[in-house]
Amino acid sequence: MHLIFNRLFLIGFSLLILTSLTISAQDTIIAPRKLKNHPILDRIDFGGYLGAQFGTVTLIEVAPVVSYHFTEKFHAGVGLTYQYYKNTYYTPDYSTSSYGGSLFGRYFIWRDLFAHVEYAPLYVNYYDYFDNGSGGYYRVKGATWVHDFLIGGGYRQIIGNKAFMSLMVLWNINESYYSPYSNPIIRIGFGVGL
């Protein structure tokens, strides 16, 4: 019960901060392009994240995203996620794929420093490992949706007229046994506007 209360409190507190910042913050951001009187396409960015880990555990993640600039300070978007996971610790090797999406909001607090909130559902298979004495094997036990809620912040570096790079540090406040994310989550991403 205490854990559920903490999670609800963090979610509510994060949304309250984002809402109050949107209402009371002064316009201090230096944007690469102003949003006034521009067509809708000027408010859209495309980008994403690529992640990789190699060794006994191999993890490859591809996550394209698209975001919309509601204001110069508030951006929101959607994304897709695909993950490939392989573990060679046991014999035979274990490998699986997961897929899902994300909904996120980003608020620029000061210049290119931002707060980030993300809901990231992911469909994962989970397996059991059986060792029968002459070699083990994996058996699919089931599949489930994992509902992760990520909060944190980051920094955006403009690298051209319409291109940028971002670095984020996020925390999964709904971490579970089947969640692929371990805290803290560090992301480096790239994006380009139309």
CB of 166 closer than 8 Å to CB of 37:
no
**What length is written for the chain?**
194
Q: Where residue 28 falls among pLDDT bands split at 50, 70, 90?
A: very low
For the segment 148-168, the average pLDDT, to the nearest whole number, is: 89
3-state secondary structure of 71: coil
DSSP designation for 174? T
CB of 53 closer than 8 Å to CB of 59:
yes
Side chain identity at residue 59, one-letter code: L
pTM for the model stands at 0.68
| Cα separation, 123 vs 126, whole angstroms | 10
100-110 pLDDT per residue, tens: 999 999 999 99
Note down the domain range covering 146.
2-31+39-193
| 140: nearest Cα among 149, 130, 153, 151 | 130
How many domains is the chain built from?
1
60-83 pLDDT per residue, tens: 889 999 999 999 899 999 999 998
CATH of the domain at 20: 2.40.160.20
